[in-house]
């Protein structure tokens, strides 16, 4: 197999339509079909289920897609890096971050990279921050931006950049906008914690499906014997707050998401009693020697400069 065949396969996996995929790679549908058949013959497995109405990846096709995209990425990365021997970063830097992080955390890093390393190309994958560490572990991202647990991750290097309290948010003019709970920003004591524990079982909650905030919430309710009334679960803080804006219940999220995004207007915030959310970058543990180590050291130095306190 060659890169042209991998590009053809990737295009068909993206569009799941022979005519559209063929147009994207500047070939004909019949030529694309021959390329895919050649790949399937070489691999000894069917990569697509196809008939006159639909095209769909098989299970083997899904597995091959990960290989194909990684191979194409490595080729493009090598093309950008090769041939020059100065201290500039080149190639592709893959970053995994939430949408909120793109406009609250990433700007100082992007500005420095643009100024000091103009030949470095960024690719940003956005998604639920709870998935960032796995994206780094699996090699889908070189840097991930996520909530850092106390003590960090044993298999990843962590660099903290921001702290933000976890809060409950509710529509101000909705049914949960005037609860007898401590407002965010006011000092909360034992009485406030008791009031929260007593009120929560009767209030619908909108929670992150996974991640540090959900882990803390589950532990907090378990320790107090509280059976939570969960109205919705969502991947990503933006989705949690969008549902809270509809008046569906109390949404649990870092206050940072409200401070810098489009969600704060029309919401009231309550203290969650779950501590601060430590937000930072994760990378694979450092590699010894060679160009990979030099690149890692350069990225570490950029992070320190971008987020110096």
pLDDT tens, position by position, 137-164: 888 888 999 999 888 999 899 999 999 8
Q: Both 272 and 284 in a single domain?
A: no
Please identify, among 40, 63, 80, the residue that sits at the C-terminal boundary of a domain.
80
Quick one: pLDDT band at residue 219, thresholds 50, 70, 90? very high
What percentage of the chain has pLDDT greater than the value 90?
30
Task: Tell me the pairing of strands 267-284 and 156-171.
Answer: antiparallel
* Together in a domain, 52 and 34: yes
Exposed e or buried b per residue across 174-196, where buried means at least 16 C-beta atoms within 10 angstroms of its C-beta:
bebeebebbebeeebeeebeeeb
Q: Which helix (H) or strand (E) segment is 227 a member of?
A: none
pLDDT at 86 over 60: no
pLDDT category at 38 given cuts 50, 70, 90 is confident
Same domain, 157 and 169: no
Domain final residue, candidates 49, 80, 111: 80
Looking at the structure, tell me whether residues 28 and 75 fall in a common domain. yes
pTM across the whole model: 0.67
End-to-end C-alpha distance for the chain, whole angstroms:
50
- On the question of pLDDT at 217 being above 90, the answer is yes
Would you say the C-alpha torsion 45, 51, 57, 59 has a positive or negative sign? negative
Do 272 and 168 share a structural domain?
Answer: yes
Q: Does residue 32 have a pLDDT over 80?
A: yes
User: Predicted confidence band at 250 (pLDDT cuts at 50, 70, 90)?
Assistant: very high
Which one of 52, 80, 108 terminates a domain?
80
CB neighbour list of residue 172: distance below 8 Å, 6 or more residues apart: 266, 267, 268
Structure tokens at 102: 């793109």
Residues 116 and 71 in one domain: no
Identify the pLDDT of residue 186: 62
Q: Tell whether 59 and 11 lie within a shared domain.
A: yes
Paired tokens of 253: 């999220």
Q: Using the predicted structure, report yes or no on whether residue 76 has a pLDDT greater than 80.
A: no
pLDDT tier for residue 181 given thresholds of 50, 70 and 90: confident
Residue 131 sits in which domain range?
87-162+280-306
């Amino acid at each position: 197999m060659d890169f042209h065949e991998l590009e053809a396969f990737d295009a068909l996996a993206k569009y799941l339509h022979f005519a559209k995929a063929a147009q994207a790679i500047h070939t004909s549908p019949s030529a694309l079909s021959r390329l895919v058949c050649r790949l399937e013959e070489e691999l000894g497995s069917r990569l697509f289920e196809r008939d006159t109405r639909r095209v769909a990846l098989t299970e083997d096709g899904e597995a091959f897609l990960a290989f194909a995209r990684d191979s194409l990425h490595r080729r493009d990365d090598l093309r950008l890096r090769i041939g020059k021997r100065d201290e500039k970063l080149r190639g592709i830097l893959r970053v995994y971050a939430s949408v909120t992080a793109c406009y609250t955390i990433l700007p100082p890093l992007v500005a420095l990279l643009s100024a000091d390393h103009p030949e470095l190309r960024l690719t940003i994958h956005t998604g639920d921050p709870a998935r960032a560490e796995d994206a780094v572990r699996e090699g889908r991202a070189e840097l991930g931006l996520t909530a850092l647990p106390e003590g960090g991750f044993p298999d990843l290097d962590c660099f903290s950049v921001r702290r933000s309290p976890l809060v409950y948010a509710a529509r101000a003019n909705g049914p949960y906008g005037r609860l007898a709970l401590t407002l965010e920003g006011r000092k909360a004591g034992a009485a406030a914690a008791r009031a929260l524990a007593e009120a929560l079982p009767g209030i619908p909650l909108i929670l992150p499906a996974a991640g540090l905030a959900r882990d803390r919430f589950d532990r907090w309710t378990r320790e107090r014997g509280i059976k939570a009334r969960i109205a919705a679960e969502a991947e990503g803080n933006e989705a949690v707050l969008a549902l809270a804006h509809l008046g569906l219940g109390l949404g649990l999220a870092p206050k940072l998401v409200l401070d810098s995004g489009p969600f704060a207007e029309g919401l009231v915030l309550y203290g969650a009693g779950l501590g601060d959310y430590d937000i930072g970058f994760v990378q694979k543990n450092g590699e010894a020697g060679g160009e990979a180590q030099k690149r890692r050291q350069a990225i570490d130095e950029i992070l320190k400069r971008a987020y110096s306190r």
